[in-house]
Amino acid sequence: MSDDFLGTLADSWLGQVANGQFWMWPFLENLHFIGLSAMVGGLLVIDLRVIGIGPARFIPMKPALSLIPYLMAAFAINLVTGTIFFVAAPFSYYYNPAFQWKIALIAIAGINALWFWFGEHSKLCAIPEDEDTPIAAKMIAGISLVLWAGVIILGRLLPYF
């Protein structure tokens, strides 16, 4: 991306709205945090159930997987608020290595989620309550936990780079 394009983003109506109201940035940060909390909470339930760790192993699979639409809504909240953050301060984010790594991990997490949805989801829906999950599903769940932990850590590191 060129600096001219980044400047155009910052000068856009969305950038002006995000920067022009003293309450907008904290409001968006709160929405971003709520979306992140909802998404990670749901991911923990699903991923830990699939892996079979802790009390989550006793949760029936279908109710755990029924959280997926809520996870998608929470991710949408984070996508919208994160996009507004980027548009409002593109130079602060675009050249920040923590942001670059964060976006890369989110992209990999998206591929991992597609692998889960198209490869293991239907198999997991058919698993009886007491049966263990396939190793491929456990790998996907473990990768998901590691990727999202990395996204959170990098998000917290953004101001320091």
Q: Measured between alpha carbons, how far apart are the two ends of the chain, in Å?
A: 19
Instruction: Give the pLDDT of residue 56.
Output: 80
Task: Report the distance separating Cα 114 and Cα 120, nearest Å.
Answer: 10
Instruction: Give the pLDDT of residue 48.
Output: 94
Residue 110 φ/ψ, nearest 5 degrees: -65, -40
For residue 160, what pLDDT band results from cuts at 50, 70 and 90? very high
Total domains in the fold of the chain: 1
pLDDT in tens, 75-109: 999 999 999 999 999 999 999 999 999 999 999 99
Instruction: Give the pLDDT of residue 112.
Output: 96
**pLDDT at residue 113 is higher than 80:** yes
Task: Report the distance separating Cα 133 and Cα 39, nearest Å.
Answer: 22
**pLDDT at residue 126 is higher than 90:** no
Report yes or no: 30 and 42 within 8 Å, Cβ to Cβ: no
The two tokens of residue 72 are 């998608």
* Alpha helices (runs of H) in the chain, residue ranges in sequence order: 3-11, 13-20, 24-51, 61-65, 68-88, 90-94, 97-115, 121-125, 135-157
Secondary structure (3-state) at 156: helix
Q: Which of 58-62, 67-71, 109-113, 150-154 bottoms out in mean pLDDT, i.e. has the lowest?
A: 58-62
The two tokens of residue 17 are 């709205």
What range defines the domain where residue 30 resides?
3-160
For residue 147, what pLDDT band results from cuts at 50, 70 and 90? very high
Task: Report the distance separating Cα 150 and Cα 119, nearest Å.
Answer: 24
Instruction: Give the pLDDT of residue 130.
Output: 75
Residue type, 94: Y
